[in-house]
Amino acid sequence: MITNNQFIQTICYLFAVAIATALLVTVFVKDILAFVEIWAWSTKTSIMSDHRPITVMVKVEVTTTHYSAVEPFHSVSSDCALVEISSECYSVLVFRPVSPSHLQISSQFSFGGAEMDICPKCAFSAICSYVPSVDATELLQSGFSPLDVCQASIMDDISNLEQELQTIESLFIQIRDRREKLLKDLGSCKALLAPIRHLPRETLLQIFNLASSDIPDPLDAPWSLGQVCSTWRSISRSCPSLWTGIYISESNRDCTTFLKKYISLSRDLPIHLTMDFDPDEEAMSDVVSDLVLHSERWASLEVNTSGEGLSELLHLASSPAIKLTSLRISLSGVFQPEINHAVLDKLFSSSPIREAHLQRIPHSSMPINMTEMLEFHVYSYDPAELHSMLHRGQHLTELAITPAPPPRDFAANIPLAYPHMCHTSLQRLSFIVNVENTRGVNKVPLTFDYVSLPALQQFGILVQEDQPLFGVLTGGFEEYSRLLDLFHRSKCSLTTLTFSIPIPVEAFLVPILAQSPALQKLDIFVNPRVARDTFKALDLEQGAARHLKELCIKESPIRRAESGLLDEANGFHAMVLSRSYGDSRLETLHISLNSLWTVQQLAIPVAQDSPFRDLFTMKEKGMNVKFLLDGEDCLIDGAARVSFFG
Burial class (CB in 10 A: 0-12, 13-18, 19+), 268: exposed
Q: Is the pLDDT of residue 115 over 50?
A: no
Evaluate whether 38 touches 55 at the Cβ level (below 8 Å): yes
pLDDT for 32-70, tens place per residue? Answer: 444 333 333 333 333 333 333 333 444 343 333 333 333
Q: Are 433 and 400 in contact (CB under 8 A)?
A: no
- Compute the average pLDDT of residues 69-85: 37
Do the bridges between strand 271-276 and strand 245-249 make them parallel or antiparallel, or are there none, so unpaired? parallel
Q: What is the DSSP string of 284-304?
A: --HHHHHHHHTGGGEEEEEEE
Query: pLDDT category, 253, cuts 50, 70, 90?
Result: low
What does the pLDDT look like over 161-190, one tens digit per residue? 888 888 888 888 888 998 999 999 998 888
Global pTM value: 0.67
Phi and psi (nearest 5°) for 585? -65, 130
Residue 430: strand pairing partners = 400, 460
pLDDT recorded at residue 120? 63
Going by their DSSP bridges, the two strands 458-463 and 496-499 should be labelled as parallel
pLDDT reading at 130 higher than 70: yes
The pLDDT score that the predictor gives to residue 559 is 67
Report the C-alpha dihedral over residues 492, 497, 502, 506, rounded to 10 degrees.
Answer: 40
- What pLDDT, on the 0 to 100 scale, is given for residue 282? 55
Which DSSP string do the residues of 481-498 spell out, in sequence order?
A: GGHHHHHHHHT----EEE
Phi, psi of 425 (to 5 degrees): -110, -25
Residues 429-453: tens digit of each pLDDT: 999 888 776 766 677 887 888 899 9
Adjacent-strand bridge partners of 433: 463
Is the model more confident about 454 or about 133? 454
According to the model, what pLDDT value does residue 57 have? 40
Q: Is the pLDDT of residue 83 over 60?
A: no
Query: In angstroms, what CA-CA distances link 624 with 526, 545, 547, 617, 621?
Result: 21, 19, 16, 11, 9
Q: What is the pLDDT of residues 537-555, one digit of tens each?
A: 999 888 888 899 999 999 8
Per-residue confidence (pLDDT) for residue 557, from 0 to 100: 78
**Per-residue model confidence (pLDDT) at position 317:** 81
Question: Does pLDDT of 78 surpass 60?
Answer: no
Mean pLDDT of all residues in 260-268: 86
With a cut of 50, say whether residue 626 has pLDDT above it: yes
Long-range contacts of 249-255 (CB under 8 A, 24+ apart): 249/215, 249/275, 249/276, 249/277, 250/276, 250/277, 252/215, 252/216, 252/217, 253/277, 253/283, 253/285, 253/287, 253/288, 254/285, 255/216
- Range name among 99-113, 276-290, 441-455, 530-544 with the lowest pLDDT average: 99-113
Say whether pLDDT at 88 is over 70: no
- For residue 19, what pLDDT is reported? 74
Q: What is the mean pLDDT of residues 363-371?
A: 83
Q: Which residue has the higher pLDDT, 398 or 598?
A: 398
Overall average pLDDT of the 61-86 stretch: 36
What's the pLDDT tens digit per position in 378-422? 988 888 888 888 999 999 999 999 888 777 766 555 556 778 899
Q: Which has the minimum average pLDDT: 26-35, 513-522, 526-535, 575-584?
A: 26-35
pLDDT of residue 26: 60
Checking if the pLDDT of 114 tops 80, the result is no
Predicted local confidence at residue 491, as pLDDT: 92
Greatest mean pLDDT range, 50-54, 150-154, 176-180, 285-289: 176-180
Q: What is the CA radius of gyration of the chain?
A: 46
Tell me how far apart the terminal alpha carbons of the chain are, to the nearest angstrom. 139
